[in-house]
Amino acid sequence: MHTTAEKAPVQTQQVNNLADQIAVQADRVARNPGDEKAWVTLGNLYFDTHQHEKSIEAYGRALEINPNNPNVLTDKGVMHRSLGEYQKALECFAKAIAIDPGHETARMNTGVVLFHDMGDKAGAIKAWQELLRVNPQATNAEGTPVADMLRQMGEEPVSKGAGPRLLAPGGGS
């Protein structure tokens, strides 16, 4: 899976492990529950420590403040996938794509869930072909070009008649 989660910054010299960073961010959101950035950071920390439910909760709080953050939606989707909640993961990825049609990570992850978790090869192929329309050079998390993945599956990388689109700035990572 691709993720947009960034490593949480170390706040002070004493904050030298993830548990300490989580405590700092939990205190920060307790003091200021409207701090979107703190909720995202807390969600990322829970993400990094495989605390899936807590990560989903923190991302949900961030999305209450700013529902139009495709990166947070994508990371929330990855956490839903980790819990086996594939439909919820796909819903998160679809919302991210609706907000930012050039969001490559959400498009890639849509195909991953469809193919690997739901056994929907045709749906995955369609998602990855759409990804190639956004970025013909797209790769998976291991660095394999998506076009090569599709060829290995016996499919054309991009549907006939569809030209590539330029990736919009800020399309996630």
Domain membership of residue 76 (yes or no) is yes
Burial of residue 16 (number of CB atoms within 10 Å: 0-12, 13-18, 19+): exposed
* Host domain of residue 79: 18-152
Domain membership of residue 160 (yes or no) is no
Task: Name the domain count of the chain.
Answer: 1
pLDDT value at position 154?
Answer: 86
Looking at per-residue pLDDT, the higher value among 5 and 160 belongs to: 5
Looking up residue 61, the CATH number of its domain turns out to be 1.25.40.10
DSSP assignment of 62-105 equals HHHH-TT-HHHHHHHHHHHHHTT-HHHHHHHHHHHHHH-TT-HH
How far, in Å, are 5, 17, 60 from residue 45 at the CA level?
9, 10, 14
Whether 8 has a pLDDT exceeding 70, the answer reads no
Domain membership of residue 5 (yes or no) is no
Strand, coil or helix: what is 145?
A: strand
**CA 18/CA 8 separation, integer angstroms:** 9
Whether 15 has a pLDDT exceeding 60, the answer reads no
Domain membership of residue 123 (yes or no) is yes
